[in-house]
């Protein structure tokens, strides 16, 4: 059974986090990391956090972390979002690849990669999706052929919708190393420096016109064999571990949605006279707040289970569906409350603080798509949790 009380050690940890954030969070918001200037600002913020060993608190102390357990990490996240600290430009690295490296990486890979990841020297992009594959990662076609000398792979193909790839330094992804293989067989997880000869990165504009994504083309790219994570052909297993971190716990902590829910309640209170003209809005605000709190409790329960040696399995798909749809719902309710003002951009003179809701609304539309579409997640739930036939 989960203990709902924090220990004295947890309380002391929270106070230490709160004090550091109060002294170091930038007074002015950083520019979006979907611009070159904003990307550099966020990279410097990652370095600042690493100086205080707050870059990734669950990492071992010898790698710059604090040996924190998942409960402490959730406490850190609560304080981080409460302090309105900058979003993490290297979340693909520290939250997804980092834990995967801890499990599957060699000592040499950990020593070489993790410190640069922690201080923002190397920012990581995802290389999951491909044209014709999308969220069906077993359908990847990009190939990696081991050279005759065995020193490097020759990589050819294309990845698309690669988050952060425009200014990132490295990407991780799966490549087909057995040309005769099908689906999840014959795949290998490879880490690719984006400055290698033969790589072309083309920006993809988002709804706001900024290049938050990119397509990556590989033309006979020579990737050293020591950049393989796990064994050759083990890529599916390694990738599923990464996807579990992405969908299940690390990528979207509950604090993010709890803070949005609190902002939604405040928005409702500030506009109650007009909002109450539609009784459904008040009910929707209450339900969204309760849903965010429920997600928090569920996540703490999952963390307790993992600390005791449990694993995140297919249930990570239920988490992903829940938080992505909750994020959409909360921003849709905000749009209803704001009515015509919902269309104000953040920096419009008339916005007066409500413009960030439009940014959040636009981003929330991507939630059911990234980290594996919700349709794919529902298939996983049907097949692996409910035991239903594939067709």
User: How many residues does this entry show for the chain?
Assistant: 391
Residue with tokens 């990696």: 144
Neighbours of 378 (CB within 10 A): 13
- Rounded to an integer, what distance in angstroms lies between the CA atom of residue 391 and that of residue 376? 13
Coil, helix or strand for 193? strand
Coil, helix or strand for 60? coil
If you ran DSSP here, which 8-state letter would residue 218 be given?
A: E
CB neighbours of 324 closer than 8 A, spacing ≥ 6?
A: 364, 367, 368, 371, 374
For 303, the token pair is 């963390």
Residue with tokens 């698309």: 160
Active-site residue among 103, 246, 266, 270?
A: 246
Q: Is 246 a catalytic residue?
A: yes
Judge contact between 99 and 59, C-beta under 8 A.
no
Query: What pairs with residue 213 in β-bridges?
Result: 204
For 223, the token pair is 């990737």
Please identify every residue annotated as catalytic.
Answer: 246
């Amino acid at each position: 059974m989960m203990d709902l009380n924090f220990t004295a050690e947890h309380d002391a940890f929270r106070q230490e986090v709160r004090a550091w954030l109060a002294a170091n969070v930038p007074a002015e918001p950083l520019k979006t990391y979907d611009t070159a200037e904003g990307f550099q600002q966020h990279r410097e913020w990652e370095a600042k956090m690493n100086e205080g060993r707050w870059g990734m608190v669950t990492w071992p102390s010898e790698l710059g972390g604090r040996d924190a357990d998942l409960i402490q990490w959730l406490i850190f996240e609560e304080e981080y979002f409460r302090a309105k600290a900058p979003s993490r430009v290297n979340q693909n690295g520290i939250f997804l690849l980092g834990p995967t490296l801890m499990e599957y990486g060699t000592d040499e890979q950990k020593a070489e990669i993790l410190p640069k990841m922690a201080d923002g020297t190397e920012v990581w992009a995802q290389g999951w999706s491909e044209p014709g594959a999308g969220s069906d990662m077993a359908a990847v076609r990009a190939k990696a052929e081991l050279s005759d000398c065995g020193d490097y792979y020759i990589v050819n193909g294309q990845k698309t919708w690669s988050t952060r790839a425009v200014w990132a330094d490295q990407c991780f992804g799966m490549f087909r190393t057995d040309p005769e293989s099908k689906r999840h067989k014959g795949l290998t997880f490879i880490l690719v420096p984006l400055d290698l000869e033969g790589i072309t990165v083309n920006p993809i504009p988002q709804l706001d016109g900024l290049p938050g994504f990119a397509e990556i083309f590989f033309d006979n790219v020579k990737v050293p064999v020591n950049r393989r994570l796990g064994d050759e052909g083990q890529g599916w297993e390694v990738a599923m571990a990464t996807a579990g971190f992405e969908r299940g716990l690390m990528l979207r902590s509950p604090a993010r949605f709890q803070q949005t829910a609190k902002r939604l309640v405040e928005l409702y209170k500030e506009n109650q006279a007009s909002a109450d003209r539609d009784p459904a809005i008040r009910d929707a605000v209450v339900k969204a707040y309760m849903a965010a709190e429920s997600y928090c409790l569920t996540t703490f329960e999952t963390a307790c289970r993992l600390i005791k040696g449990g694993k995140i399995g297919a249930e990570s798909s239920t988490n992903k569906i829940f938080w992505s749809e909750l994020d959409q719902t909360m921003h849709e309710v905000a749009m209803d409350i704001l009515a015509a003002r919902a269309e104000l951009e953040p920096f419009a003179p008339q916005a007066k603080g409500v413009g960030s809701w439009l940014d959040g609304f636009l981003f929330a539309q991507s939630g059911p798509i990234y980290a594996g579409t919700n349709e794919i997640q529902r298939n996983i739930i049907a097949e692996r949790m409910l035991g239903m036939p594939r067709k």
